[in-house]
Amino acid sequence: MPPDAQPPLVVLVEDDPAIASMVMMQLEASGYRPHVERDGCAAVEAVRRLRPALVLLDIGLPGMDGIQVCRTLRAEDDWTPVVFLTAHDDEVDRVLGLELGADDYVTKPFSPREVMARIASVLRRTQGRPDAASPTITWGAIRLRPDQRQAFVEDAEIDLTAREFDLLAYLLASPGRVFTRDQLLDQVWGHGAPAGPRTVDVHVAQVRAKLGGDDVIRTVRGVGYAAAPPPRPDRLPSER
């Protein structure tokens, strides 16, 4: 890190003082700048004002809960990475949180080292995520606008979940390159994410269904998936 650079800012949203104090100390020891909020409404305002590198977000908050906080940020096209802290070891909570656009989650009780490892993994993964300066990704009639998290086929917008969008964008960024399921899990879901190869298969099937076929993502038997090379135009521009 350059001498004049500040450590990454992490907004920690946790209403339990003991947990907040423990995680805050671990954040500082791990080289982050923590900013603590106790409720959801204050958290939204803090993210808007401070523009942190990541939000560590408890689900069970007073007033506006963590899911509502994440939904509010995403509705404002704020894609600051979010890691959920949840006391509910329940698959519905996990899926809902991740489909809302969260990047990972940790179930209580947790070790501070596990939380730090998840934060580091998410930041490594999202530092390469397309931002507002990123160009539109085009594959034939498909267009992705990473800055606005929008996907179009022809000129019709299609509704992709956050994970589906990230998966499609990752594949389209390297057309023709074959990725194993484990590579996709590591790059799209994050290292150590509680998901298996079947999760990749399910998401690929969902993306194909929304795109209207399997022309874009091809299966490489025994290996994984790849975005097919983009279709060539029927005629060169000089021939039109």
Tens-digit pLDDT profile for residues 65-78:
998 999 899 888 78
What's the pLDDT at 1?
Answer: 46
The answer to whether 80 and 47 are in contact (CB under 8 A) is yes
**Where are the domain boundaries for CATH 1.10.10.10 in the chain?**
137-227
Nearest alpha-carbon partner for 82 in 66, 93, 95, 62: 66
Separation CA 235–CA 30 (nearest Å)? 56
On the question of pLDDT at 210 being above 80, the answer is yes
| Dihedral sign, Cα of residue 38, residue 44, residue 50, residue 52 | positive
Strand pairing class (224-227; 217-220): antiparallel
Which pLDDT band, with edges at 50, 70 and 90, does 173 fall under? confident
> Residue holding tokens 């022309």?
215
Which CATH number does 137-227 carry? 1.10.10.10
Other Cβ atoms within 10 Å of 63 Cβ, number: 12
What's the pLDDT band for 94 if we cut at 50, 70, 90?
low
Place of tokens 């998290």: 149
Q: Looking at the domain that runs over 9-126, which CATH code has it been given?
A: 3.40.50.2300
Tens digits of residue pLDDT in 100-158: 778 888 888 888 888 998 898 888 777 655 443 446 788 888 988 876 778 899 889 99
The predicted pLDDT at position 13 comes to: 95
At 235, the pLDDT band (50, 70, 90 cuts) reads very low
Name the residue among 45, 7, 188, 12 with its Cα closest to residue 103: 188
Q: Which pLDDT tens digit goes with each residue over 29-45?
A: 999 999 999 999 999 99
Nearest CA to 153 out of 166, 168, 131 is that of: 168
